[in-house]
Structure 1
Amino acid sequence: MRNKGRWAMLLAAALVALAVSACGKDGGKSGELKTVKFSEVIRSIFYAPHYVAMSQGFFKDEGLNVDMNTAQGSDKGAAALLAGTADISLVGPETTIYIFNQKGEKTLKVFHQLTAKDGSFLLSREKLDDFKWGDLSGKTVIGWRPGSAPQMVLNSTLLQEGVSGVNVITNIASPAMAGAFTSGQGDFIQLFEPVASMLVQEGKAHYVGSLGEAFGAFPETSYVATSDYIKSNPEVIQSFVRAVAKGAEWLNTASDDEIAEALAPFFEGTSKELILQSVHRYKNQGTWPTNPELSQDQFDTLQNVLVANGVLKDAERIANMGDVVDMSFVYKLGKTE
Structure 2
Amino acid sequence: MKRFFFTILSFIMMLFILASCGGQKPEKIRLAEVTRSVFYTPLYIALSEGLFKEEGLDVELKTTWGGDKTMTALLSNGADIALVGSETSIYVNAQGASDPVINFAQLTQTDGTFLVARNDAGHFSWDDLKNKTFLGQRKGGMPQMAGEFVLKQKGIDPKKDVDLIQTIDFANIANSFASGTGDYVQLFEPQASIFEREGIGRIVASFGKESGRIPYTTFMAKQSYLTKNEEAVEKFTRAVYKAQQWVETHSAKEAAESIQDYFKDTELSIIESSIERYKQQRSFALEPVLAEKEWNQLQTIMDEAGELPKRTPHQELVNTRIAEKVTKNH
TM-score when normalising by structure 1: 0.87
Residue 84 (str. 1) matches residue 77 (str. 2): yes
What is the letter of the counterpart of residue 135 of structure 1?
A: D
Asked whether the 8 Å contact 2:34–2:70 carries over to 1, the reply is yes
Q: How does 1:42-61 map to 2 (within 5 A)?
A: 42-61=35-54
Counterpart of 1:66 in 2: which secondary structure? strand
Residue 289 of structure 1: CA displacement?
Answer: 2.1
Residue 283 (str. 1) matches residue 279 (str. 2): yes
Q: How does 1:266-277 map to 2 (within 5 A)?
A: 266-277=262-273
Match of 1:75 among 68, 73, 88: 68
With over 3 angstroms needed to count, the CA separation of the structure-2 counterparts of 1:282 and 1:336, relative to structure 1, is: closer
RMSD: 1.5
Tell me the equivalent position of 2:132: 139
Residue 193 (str. 1) matches residue 186 (str. 2): no
Counterpart of 2:109 in 1: which secondary structure? coil
Residue 98 (str. 1) matches residue 94 (str. 2): no
Match of 1:309 among 291, 305, 309: 305
Distance in 1 separating the partners of 2:71 and 2:131: 35
Counterpart of 1:294 in 2: which secondary structure? coil
Q: How does 1:131-280 map to 2 (within 5 A)?
A: 131-164=124-157, 165-280=161-276
What is the letter of the counterpart of residue 157 of structure 1?
A: V
Task: Name structure 2 gaps, 5 residues minimum.
Answer: 1-23
Identity of aligned residues (%): 38
Asked whether the 8 Å contact 2:248–2:286 carries over to 1, the reply is no
Asked whether the 8 Å contact 2:252–2:273 carries over to 1, the reply is no
Tell me the equivalent position of 1:293: 289
Residue 62 of structure 1: CA displacement?
Answer: 0.5
Asked whether the 8 Å contact 2:244–2:287 carries over to 1, the reply is no
Asked whether the 8 Å contact 2:256–2:275 carries over to 1, the reply is no
What is the letter of the counterpart of residue 189 of structure 1?
A: V
TM-score when normalising by structure 2: 0.89
Distance in 1 separating the partners of 2:34 and 2:165: 20
Instruction: State how many pairs are aligned.
Output: 305
Distance in 2 separating the partners of 1:100 and 1:195: 32
Residue 257 of structure 1: CA displacement?
Answer: 4.3
Distance in 1 separating the partners of 2:308 and 2:251: 43
Out of 181-190 and 43-52, give the one that drifted further. 181-190
